Amino acid sequence: MCGRYSIGDEIKELAQQHDYSIPSDFDPTYNAAPGQSLPVLSHPHPNAFSLMHWGIQPFWAKDQSKRLINARAETVAEKASFKKSFQQRRCLIAADGYYEWMKTPEGKVPYRITRNDAPAFLMAGIWDKDHEGQPAFAIITTQASESITHIHDRMPVLLHDEALALWQSDTEDYPGLVDLLRPFDDDRLEAFTVSKKVNWVGNNEEYLRKAVD
């Protein structure tokens, strides 16, 4: 799964590279968590980041506080909770790294996983409106790349640049879209341990992204 990530000023370089605009009220988030408003490129506005809440509220849920933060690549095209969003409301989520916790005999150890060839990247997602009519998103996850399976067996889908246009298009080639939802290249990933202070969502300082021994 993916339950925490970060996006700092690196979004500016990402926006410049692809000619995207950034909302004036964007603030760097070094410990992004479900429920927060975060920068997303949605299908109606493919060149302008907007802030969306992280976590889709399923229409069938009796508990309306329940939010789905991830959608599995293996079932996103068929599952009732996500199928329509997959077909009509795909999105891209900006990040400069994500956090995952490895289980050890001494407890869970937080890791940060980044791309070693880019300061920031875009993750595949879907979005929908919540019960108050506000847009909310979920991150699509897939099997982890081989080099990081020792940390966790799932990872967010990091899209290659050449896949962005298709993901944001009006295509009905749903098998082709599903084919994009693969583990990322092992040789372009970097993983390292970070401070356990990232465990508490109230911590939102830049040092959380730094490697620790």
Residue 173 CB contacts under 8 Å (≥ 6 apart), including other chains:
166
Give all strands of the β-sheet with 97-104 in edge-to-edge order: 29-32, 5-7, 97-104, 107-115, 189-193
Q: Which of 10, 100, 162, 206 is catalytic?
A: 100
Would you call 91 a catalytic residue per the annotation? no
Verify whether residue 2 is a known catalytic residue: yes
Look up residue 79 and give its two tokens: 């599952």
Nearest-5° Cα angle at 195, 191 to 199: 100
Exposed, middle or buried by CB within 10 Å (0-12, 13-18, 19+), for 136? buried
User: Which active-site residues does the annotation give?
Assistant: 2, 100
